[in-house]
Copies of this chain bind each other. A is one copy, B any other.
Amino acid sequence: MKTRPSIVLFGDSITEESFRYGGWGASLTDTYSRKADIVVRGYDGYTTRWALFLLDHIFPLSSTTPPVAATVFLGANDAALPGRTWERLHVPLEEYKENLRKIVRHLKECSPTMLIVLITPPPIDEEGRLEFAKSMYGEKAMKLPERTNEVTGDYANGCVEVAKEFGVSSVNLWSRMQETQGWQKKFLSDGLHLTPDGNKVVFEEVLKVFNGAWLSAIDMPYDFPQYSDIDPHNPEKAFQNV
């Protein structure tokens, strides 16, 4: 297969689900249509601790065609609280930051020119989480949310700090979403995962970073001639230099 540059979306369920209706991964694919391939590598329930096991497989250091860019969107699971329903996902804040550092170092080793974008977890609508738990487990549902917005905010800050340490880009989704009145229901479907509007925010913020770097789709070449450049009486000509 002809090699177009590839852009990897690496993360948890919010990345895995990014090709659903209005998903940010699908929107990026459409934007980079005929310019770059968007490769989705999202893993439901994964924390940074588990993501480390995937690095050599998804970003092999021996690759001759490493991705030109990668989004790293992890932390929503790390921030699950100890002693609550999703305790088994919990990764302490300092370890989360250290794991992110390991990921960034690996990506830079994979390709020193890779455009790396760290995305913070989205904010948490605690009421939404409780409602969701009730809808799933009824009376057995937890009475206290398994994630809080405040603690997830600490992870978001940690993520932004790590990005600054390495001089790589970041999207502070946690802050950005909370700038909008009613973010709880507008952007989050179950207090954590994204609605189509929430997906739109991620898409726009990531695109802003890509466009601000050297990865603007408008400036990238088409992989093959556009139909308007093909002479119907002499189509060979347009394909001679492909």
A20, chain B: closest CB distance, angstroms: 5
The 0/1 profile, CB within 8 Å of B marked 1, for residues 19-52 of chain A is 1111101110110011001011011111001100
A146, chain B: closest CB distance, angstroms: 14
Q: Indicate if A137 sits at the interface (CB-CB under 8 A).
A: no
How many copies of the polypeptide does the oligomer hold? 2
A residues 39-94 near B (Cβ < 8 Å) are 39-40, 42-46, 49-50, 53-54, 57-60, 63, 67, 88-89
A8 cross-chain contacts in B, Cβ below 8 A: 1
A227 cross-chain contacts in B, Cβ below 8 A: 43-46, 50, 89
Q: Indicate if A98 sits at the interface (CB-CB under 8 A).
A: no
Q: Would you mind naming 15 contact pairs between A and B with Cβ atoms under 8 Å apart?
A: A1-B63, A2-B57, A16-B34, A19-B29, A19-B30, A23-B30, A25-B26, A29-B29, A33-B42, A50-B227, A50-B235, A50-B239, A53-B224, A53-B235, A53-B236
Interface residues of A (CB under 8 A from B): 1-2, 6, 8, 16-17, 19-23, 25-27, 29-30, 33-34, 37, 39-40, 42-46, 49-50, 53-54, 57-60, 63, 67, 88-89, 224, 226-228, 230, 232, 235-236, 239, 242
